[in-house]
A and B are shown apart, each in its own frame.
Chain A
Amino acid sequence: MNPPALELSDLRKRFGRLTVLDGVTATITSGRVTAIVGPNASGKSTLIKCVLGLVRPDGGEIRVLGERVGRDPRYRRRVGFMPQGAPFPQNLTGREALQLVKDLRPDEEPDLDLVHRFALAPQLGKPVRLLSGGTRQKLNAAVAFLFRPSILILDEPTAGLDPLASGVFKEKVKEAAASGAAVLLTSHVLSEVEELADDVLFLLDGQIRFQGTMEDLRRMTGEQKLERAVSRLMRMRAA
């Protein structure tokens, strides 16, 4: 049997006195969209950054496709990450920015499907600093999907996308999951989570308070809407 896309065991991280991840253990399976939900400062970003190798955990272990995450950057060849904002050097054109990311994985065939579907081509000749927020976000999305990654990490992906682009994007996410990728998603737009996610991972104060399918969550809380289910989860724990 293939190893799971992502395995977290007893992940711990403190920033000074603040405990951000307090023993997170979870398994993310291929072919499904998993949403990480939780209030601000619940540890979502840190969790994602640990998987990407941006933050080094104090304890615990991360395995990506069975490979232990350490100092060797090669495991990230199979990981697609969608950044936020305008991460590229401001004087590069969109085309040069895409080329740079392509060059970092010289052996793989790029997938420019999103560039076409977003009709990005006419914008790619401009320097990144002149692109609008929405266009930058489209470029960021194209970067994440560029190599048909086995694991996709999408942090607030549709912020700044217009409804049309957002629809195209969600379609692409579903297709990626259907073709076997594990998608890890954070979003404050709960309707979007409802629409996309198969599984939910609820994080509060650095601990996982719920992990299961959307169905499980609905059954457990007795609520149909995710928003109400989540607030019920928070109340249940507080009591």
Chain B
Amino acid sequence: MTIRRLVHSELRNVARSRWLLVYAIVLLSLTDLLFRFGGSGERVVLSLTNVILALVPLVGLVLGTMHVYQSREFIELMLAQPVGRRTLFGALYAGLALPLAGAYALGVGLPLLWHGQLLGGSAGGPTLLLSGVALTLVFTALAFVIALLFEERAAGLGAAIVTWLITVVVYDGLLLLAVVSLDDWPVEIPAMIATLLNPVDLGRVLLLLRFDSGALAGYTGAIFARFMGGGTAMAIAITALALWILSPLALGLRRFERRDW
């Protein structure tokens, strides 16, 4: 199968790159240090959450767009072979998203494991692991869309950084501002919908639902948990995250199939 061979060679290439190792080591030391000096298990997972909700999107966006621009000549060569565009797109995405998700899973999962938070601790550990993996898949897919929309590398990287700023920093702030200034109106439902529209907030909601503390969960997370029982909220958040992976992928594929190289 063509796609298996392509994915295989992409995996091999990405696995040998230095930045992947650096990423895994940074996550590993960060998680381990927080456990050593940050106090009890649940609190560590909560502070870790906020770091990871910012770091994972940044890494996915920046490395994802860079990877597509760097692969430009490779893409042209492969498309000149008996390889379909759909196949190549799938191989490129899997070849980057899987190692990134793997580096995350090892970097965060191993310390969680040896500090007893992965098995048998609170449910926070496993949830943290899964939402990080999901966010990796989401933001790598978004990075592919960005890199395919902008011909120029500088413009694409700029758009990736702006996307990061919006999803991680600006969005929650604006939402809070809107809610505060519309104090007299019933804004909970619109605010909840707004949460679904940002994958970072979805990741936060997933984690919040595992803890009973809303302190670090941001405004959007708090309302989400208040208005729904754990199970329903969880199902909705997971579905929304899956859509956040699939829709950019569909968009990217469409662009990849139609554009001229």
Using CB atoms and an 8 Å cutoff, list the residues of chain A in contact with chain B.
15, 49, 52-56, 71-77, 79, 81, 83-92, 96, 100-101, 103-105, 127, 143, 153
- Which residues of the partner chain B approach A103 to less than 8 Å between Cβ atoms? 2, 5
Interface residues in B, total, Cβ within 8 A: 27
- Which residues of the partner chain B approach A74 to less than 8 Å between Cβ atoms? 82
Q: Are B81 and A88 in contact (CB under 8 A)?
A: no
Main secondary structure of the interface of B (DSSP, over half): helix
- Which residues of the partner chain B approach A92 to less than 8 Å between Cβ atoms? 9, 12-13
- In the assembled complex, the CB of B212 is this many whole angstroms from the nearest CB of chain A, namely 46
Give the interface centre of A56, A73, A74, A90 by most chain B CB atoms within 10 Å. A73
- In the assembled complex, the CB of B72 is this many whole angstroms from the nearest CB of chain A, namely 9
Interface residues of B in 62-99 (CB under 8 A from A): 70-71, 73-74, 76-85
Q: Are A104 and B81 in contact (CB under 8 A)?
A: yes
**Bound-complex Cα distance A13 to B81 (A):** 22
Instruction: Kindly list the 6 A-B residue pairs having the minimum CB-CB distance in the complex, ordered from nearest.
Output: A89-B13, A87-B73, A91-B16, A81-B80, A54-B261, A87-B77
- Which residues of the partner chain A approach B42 to less than 8 Å between Cβ atoms? none
Q: Are B82 and A91 in contact (CB under 8 A)?
A: no
Q: Are B76 and A104 in contact (CB under 8 A)?
A: no
Instruction: Among A52, A84, A91, point to the contact of B79 (Cβ < 8 A).
Output: A52
**Bound-complex Cα distance A53 to B14 (A):** 27
Give the interface centre of B2, B70, B77, B78 by most chain A CB atoms within 10 Å. B77
* Chain B positions 1 through 40: 1 when the CB is less than 8 Å from some CB of chain A, otherwise 0: 0100110011011101100000000000000000000000
At the interface, yes or no: B260 with Cβ under 8 Å from chain A? Answer: yes
- Which residues of the partner chain B approach A88 to less than 8 Å between Cβ atoms? 74, 77
Instruction: Among B73, B77, B260, point to the contact of A56 (Cβ < 8 A).
Output: B260
